[in-house]
Amino acid sequence: MRAPCFFALLLLGCSGPSPEPTPDEAPPAEAPAPAAEAAPPGSFGPASLASGDEVSPLLARLDADIAFRVERAEAQPSGAVDALSAAVQGRMARAGLSGRYGDYEAADVLLARAFAAAPKEDPGLRLLRARLDLTLHRLGGVLEDLDAVPTTVEVGRLKPHLAIMARGTLAAQRGDVDEAKRRYNEVMRMKPGFAEARSAMAWIHWQTGDFESAEGLYGEAEANTPASAARPRAWLELQRGLMDLDRERNEEALAHYRAADELLPGWWLIHEHIAEVTLLLGHEAAAVALYEKVIEDTDGSPEFLDALAGIRRAQGDEEAAAALIGRSREVWESRLKRLPEASYGHALDHFLKFGPPERALEIARKNHDLRPNGDAKVRLIHALLGSGEVAEAQVVANDLEASPWDTRGGREAIAAARAATP
C-alpha cells in the first residue's frame, strides 16, 4: 500500500503536488456543477467521473480570490501583507485540490513578497512560513519561526492554536509521538471545537496501533465539522478509508472512499485511492481506467504513472511499463531538484519499486535524516535490504520495533529484515 503524505494532507487536505506551474490569473468562478449521484451497486468507478465535477468550480473560485488578493496588494500597499498572506493560503489550498507543484512554488513566491512588504518583524508571517515549510517537509527553519510566534495573543494572522498544532506536526515528523500528542491535546483544550486537532491525534493513534481511539477521534472531528464543509468531511472519510485499508478491510475502505467522492466529486486524491482499492479487489480493467483518468486530471502525476506501470508489468507488457516508468522518472528527478524535501517520500516509492537500488538508498537516507518517523524507517529498511545492507536494515528494524510506531507496513518491514541473511 502506498502511504499517504500525511503531513501535507493534515495542513492542506492534499497529497503530493505535480510539476506544472499554474497562473495567478483565472476566469471568474462558475456556479458549482450538480452533485454526483451515488454509484450503482457493483460499480467501481467514482460517481463523479460520469456525473459532474465539483472540484473545477472550487478551483476557479480559489483562482479568482488569489487574483483579487494579488491585485489588492498592488493597488493598496498599506494592506499588502494581509492581502498577500491570504493569497499564500489560497495557493496552499489550491495545491491540495490540484496536486500541482506549481501551486506550492507560487505560494513561496507570494510569501517572499509578503515578507518584503512587511514594514517590521511580522510573527504572523513567520507562522505562515512555518506551516508552508512543514507542508513541504522543509524542517530546518520551522522551530526558529515558531519560536517567534506568541502563543498567548490571538489577533489577525496570529493564531496561537495553529502555532501549537505546527509544533505537534513537527514532532510527529521527527518521530516524537509523546510530544506530538502533548501538543495536539493542548490545542484540543484551547479550542475544543477545532476538528483538525482531533484528526491529527486520530492519525497518531492509528500509526501507533490504537485503531479504536483513532476511530473515536475521527468521529469527534466529524461532529465538529459543519455539514456544509464538504472538503474537510471528504478528507475525514478518506482517512477512515485509509485506516480500513491498513487493516485489509478493502470493501469498507471503498465505502468510505465513495462517501468522500459524494461529498466532493472530482477530487483526484479520492479517485486515486478508489483506483488502488479497486485493483486490490481484483477489478484490473476498472482500476486501469481510473488511473488513466487520474493521470489526465493531474497532468501526468508520476505516482499514478508508476501505479499504471506496475499493472502493465504484471500483465507482461514490459514495453508499456518501461515507457510509463521513463515518463515518471523524468518528473521525479525534476521534483527532486525543485522541492527536494517535499519529494523524498513519494519519489522513494518509485525508486524502491523500479530501481536503481543505490538511488533508492540515497533518497531513503535523506528522507530518514530529515524526519526519522516510523514511515521513514520502513522505507529505509526496504532500501537497505534492496542494496544488500542487511545488518544496517536489522539495526533500523530494531529501532522501529522499539518505537511507539506500530503499522502493518512496519511489521512487514521488520519481518523482512529479520528474515534476511547478512
Report in angstroms the alpha-carbon separations of 44 from 2, 13, 284: 20, 24, 10
Task: Report the distance separating Cα 352 and Cα 386, nearest Å.
Answer: 8
Measured torsion, CA atoms of residues 83, 57, 47, 5, in degrees rounded to the nearest 10: -20
Question: Where do the structural domains in the chain lie, given as residue ranges?
Answer: 355-422
Summarised one tens digit per residue, pLDDT across range 344-398 is: 999 999 999 999 999 999 999 999 999 999 999 999 999 999 999 999 999 999 9
Q: What mean pLDDT, rounded, does the chain reach? A: 88
Mind listing the pLDDT tens digit for each residue in 288-302? 999 999 999 898 999
**Based on the number of CB atoms within 10 Å of its own CB, is 176 exposed (0-12), middle (13-18) or buried (19 or more)?**
middle
Q: Decide if 99 contacts 298 (C-beta within 8 A).
A: yes
pLDDT digit string, tens, across residues 391-417: 999 999 999 999 999 999 999 999 999
Interval 147-171 mean pLDDT: 87
Amino acid code (one letter) for 318: E
Q: Which is it for the CA torsion 417, 420, 421, 422, positive or negative? A: negative
pTM for this predicted structure: 0.86
**DSSP H or E segment with residue 388:** none
The DSSP code sequence of 112-133 is HHHHHH-SS--HHHHHHHHHHH
pLDDT for the residue numbered 27: 28
Range 221-227 average pLDDT = 95
Contact predicate 134/101, CB 8 Å: no
Q: Which residue has the higher pLDDT, 3 or 421?
A: 421
Residue 19 pLDDT > 70: no
Residues of the chain with pLDDT > 90: what percent? Answer: 80
Average pLDDT over every residue of 225-250: 95
| pLDDT recorded at residue 154 | 72
First to last CA, the chain: 27
pLDDT of residue 44 exceeding 60: no
pLDDT in tens, 156-166: 677 899 999 99
Give pLDDT, residue 152. 79
Q: Give 260-271 pLDDT, tens digit per residue.
A: 999 999 999 999
For the segment 127-135, the average pLDDT, to the nearest whole number, is 96
* Mean pLDDT of all residues in 136-140: 95
In this prediction, residue 43 has a pLDDT band, given cuts at 50, 70 and 90, of very low
Residue 40: CB atoms within 10 Å: 7
Written as one string, the DSSP assignment of 77-89 is GGGHHHHHHHHHH
What pLDDT does 46 receive?
Answer: 56
Cis peptide before 356 (omega within 30 of 0): yes
Percent of the chain predicted with pLDDT > 70: 87
Neighbouring residues of 61: CB distance < 8 A, sequence distance ≥ 6: 29
Q: Which CATH class is domain 355-422?
A: mainly alpha
Confidence band for 52, pLDDT divided at 50, 70 and 90: very low
User: Residue 58 carries which side chain, given as an amino acid letter?
Assistant: L
* Separation of alpha carbons 389 and 384, rounded Å: 5
What letter would DSSP give residue 299?
Answer: T
Indicate the pLDDT class of residue 34, thresholds 50, 70 and 90.
very low
Q: Per 3-state DSSP, what percentage of the chain is helix, strand, and coil (rounded to 5)?
A: 70, 0, 30
342 within 8 A of 17, measured Cβ to Cβ: yes
Summarised one tens digit per residue, pLDDT across range 76-120 is 999 999 999 999 999 999 998 998 899 999 999 999 999 999 988
